[in-house]
Amino acid sequence: MQKYRVSLDDIEQTKNLAIFFANKVNKGSVILLKGDLGSGKTTFAQFFIYEICGIKDVVTSPTFNLVHQYKSVNFDLWHFDLYRLKNIEEVFELGLEDALKYGVALIEWPELIEDVLKVSNKVTINFQNSSNNRIAEVTTEGVFCKNK
Protein backbone atom coordinates (compact mmCIF):
# COMPACT_ATOMS: atom_id res chain seq x y z
CA MET A 1 0.00 0.00 0.00
CA GLN A 2 1.27 3.46 -0.89
CA LYS A 3 0.46 6.62 1.05
CA TYR A 4 1.43 10.14 0.13
CA ARG A 5 0.37 13.76 0.57
CA VAL A 6 -0.26 16.21 -2.24
CA SER A 7 -0.61 19.97 -1.85
CA LEU A 8 -3.62 21.34 -3.67
CA ASP A 9 -2.78 25.02 -3.69
CA ASP A 10 -4.93 25.72 -6.73
CA ILE A 11 -7.58 24.12 -8.91
CA GLU A 12 -4.98 23.00 -11.47
CA GLN A 13 -3.36 20.72 -8.88
CA THR A 14 -6.76 19.20 -8.05
CA LYS A 15 -7.31 18.64 -11.76
CA ASN A 16 -3.91 16.96 -12.14
CA LEU A 17 -4.58 14.61 -9.23
CA ALA A 18 -8.00 13.68 -10.62
CA ILE A 19 -6.55 13.04 -14.08
CA PHE A 20 -3.82 10.88 -12.56
CA PHE A 21 -6.48 8.73 -10.86
CA ALA A 22 -8.69 8.65 -13.96
CA ASN A 23 -5.84 7.24 -16.03
CA LYS A 24 -5.21 4.42 -13.55
CA VAL A 25 -8.68 2.98 -12.97
CA ASN A 26 -10.27 0.05 -14.71
CA LYS A 27 -13.50 -1.89 -14.43
CA GLY A 28 -13.98 -2.87 -10.79
CA SER A 29 -11.97 0.05 -9.37
CA VAL A 30 -13.33 1.96 -6.41
CA ILE A 31 -12.12 5.36 -5.22
CA LEU A 32 -13.29 6.85 -1.95
CA LEU A 33 -13.39 10.64 -1.66
CA LYS A 34 -13.29 11.93 1.89
CA GLY A 35 -12.71 15.27 3.53
CA ASP A 36 -14.02 18.53 4.83
CA LEU A 37 -17.28 19.96 3.56
CA GLY A 38 -16.43 22.26 0.66
CA SER A 39 -12.86 21.01 0.37
CA GLY A 40 -13.03 20.03 -3.30
CA LYS A 41 -14.33 16.47 -3.45
CA THR A 42 -16.91 17.30 -6.11
CA THR A 43 -14.38 19.38 -8.04
CA PHE A 44 -12.07 16.35 -8.03
CA ALA A 45 -15.02 14.23 -9.23
CA GLN A 46 -15.79 16.67 -12.06
CA PHE A 47 -12.26 16.48 -13.44
CA PHE A 48 -12.16 12.69 -12.93
CA ILE A 49 -15.44 12.13 -14.79
CA TYR A 50 -14.49 14.52 -17.57
CA GLU A 51 -11.21 12.70 -18.13
CA ILE A 52 -12.93 9.31 -18.36
CA CYS A 53 -16.27 10.14 -19.98
CA GLY A 54 -15.75 13.52 -21.63
CA ILE A 55 -18.68 14.98 -19.68
CA LYS A 56 -18.06 18.42 -18.25
CA ASP A 57 -21.02 20.70 -17.74
CA VAL A 58 -23.53 18.27 -16.22
CA VAL A 59 -21.36 16.82 -13.47
CA THR A 60 -22.72 17.99 -10.14
CA SER A 61 -22.65 16.66 -6.64
CA PRO A 62 -25.16 13.86 -6.39
CA THR A 63 -26.02 14.86 -2.80
CA PHE A 64 -29.71 15.17 -3.58
CA ASN A 65 -29.93 12.39 -6.16
CA LEU A 66 -27.35 10.27 -4.27
CA VAL A 67 -25.92 8.68 -7.43
CA HIS A 68 -25.21 9.62 -11.05
CA GLN A 69 -24.18 7.14 -13.71
CA TYR A 70 -22.00 8.06 -16.69
CA LYS A 71 -20.95 6.05 -19.75
CA SER A 72 -17.42 5.71 -21.00
CA VAL A 73 -15.96 3.63 -23.80
CA ASN A 74 -14.78 0.84 -21.49
CA PHE A 75 -17.17 0.88 -18.52
CA ASP A 76 -19.88 2.75 -16.69
CA LEU A 77 -18.85 5.16 -13.98
CA TRP A 78 -21.02 5.59 -10.88
CA HIS A 79 -20.61 8.75 -8.80
CA PHE A 80 -22.11 8.22 -5.34
CA ASP A 81 -22.63 10.76 -2.56
CA LEU A 82 -23.52 9.07 0.73
CA TYR A 83 -23.67 12.23 2.84
CA ARG A 84 -27.39 11.98 3.67
CA LEU A 85 -27.60 8.22 4.19
CA LYS A 86 -28.13 6.82 7.67
CA ASN A 87 -27.55 3.07 7.27
CA ILE A 88 -25.68 0.68 5.04
CA GLU A 89 -28.81 -0.92 3.59
CA GLU A 90 -29.63 2.39 1.87
CA VAL A 91 -26.29 2.28 0.09
CA PHE A 92 -26.96 -1.06 -1.56
CA GLU A 93 -30.39 0.15 -2.72
CA LEU A 94 -28.54 2.68 -4.89
CA GLY A 95 -26.97 0.01 -7.12
CA LEU A 96 -23.56 -0.11 -5.47
CA GLU A 97 -23.17 -3.81 -6.18
CA ASP A 98 -23.64 -3.23 -9.93
CA ALA A 99 -21.09 -0.43 -9.83
CA LEU A 100 -18.58 -2.67 -8.09
CA LYS A 101 -19.13 -5.50 -10.54
CA TYR A 102 -19.55 -3.73 -13.87
CA GLY A 103 -17.87 -0.36 -13.64
CA VAL A 104 -15.94 2.17 -11.63
CA ALA A 105 -17.31 3.61 -8.40
CA LEU A 106 -16.34 7.07 -7.18
CA ILE A 107 -17.81 7.49 -3.70
CA GLU A 108 -18.03 10.79 -1.79
CA TRP A 109 -18.66 10.62 1.99
CA PRO A 110 -17.93 6.85 2.12
CA GLU A 111 -17.57 6.56 5.91
CA LEU A 112 -20.77 4.51 6.21
CA ILE A 113 -19.41 1.67 4.05
CA GLU A 114 -15.66 2.13 4.14
CA ASP A 115 -15.00 -0.78 6.49
CA VAL A 116 -17.29 -3.12 4.55
CA LEU A 117 -15.69 -2.40 1.18
CA LYS A 118 -12.09 -2.52 2.43
CA VAL A 119 -11.06 -0.25 -0.44
CA SER A 120 -7.46 0.88 -0.59
CA ASN A 121 -7.88 3.73 -3.07
CA LYS A 122 -8.71 6.83 -1.06
CA VAL A 123 -8.34 10.56 -1.50
CA THR A 124 -8.92 12.65 1.61
CA ILE A 125 -8.99 16.39 0.95
CA ASN A 126 -8.85 18.78 3.87
CA PHE A 127 -8.18 22.47 4.33
CA GLN A 128 -4.65 23.30 5.37
CA ASN A 129 -4.35 25.80 8.23
CA SER A 130 -6.66 28.78 7.89
CA SER A 131 -5.87 29.40 4.23
CA ASN A 132 -7.81 28.26 1.20
CA ASN A 133 -5.04 25.75 0.41
CA ARG A 134 -5.81 22.08 0.69
CA ILE A 135 -3.89 18.90 1.31
CA ALA A 136 -4.84 15.56 -0.24
CA GLU A 137 -3.85 12.43 1.62
CA VAL A 138 -3.79 9.67 -0.97
CA THR A 139 -3.76 5.95 -0.32
CA THR A 140 -3.46 3.45 -3.17
CA GLU A 141 -2.65 -0.19 -3.53
CA GLY A 142 -0.64 -1.39 -6.47
CA VAL A 143 -1.72 0.30 -9.65
CA PHE A 144 -5.24 1.00 -8.46
CA CYS A 145 -6.22 -2.60 -8.12
CA LYS A 146 -9.86 -3.54 -7.81
CA ASN A 147 -11.44 -3.51 -4.39
CA LYS A 148 -10.42 -6.43 -2.19
Domains of the chain: 2-140 (3.40.50.300)
Judge contact between 42 and 60, C-beta under 8 A.
yes
**pLDDT bracket for residue 58 (50, 70, 90):** low
Nearest to 25 by CA among 82, 112, 92, 106: 106
Residue 147 has pLDDT above 60, yes or no: no
For 62-85, give the DSSP string.
-TTTSEEEEE-SS-EEEEEE-TT-
Q: Which of helix, strand or coil describes residue 30?
A: strand
Angle at 29 between CA 28 and CA 30, to 5 degrees: 120
Residue 63 has pLDDT above 70, yes or no: no
pLDDT at res. 146: 42
pTM (2 d.p.): 0.86
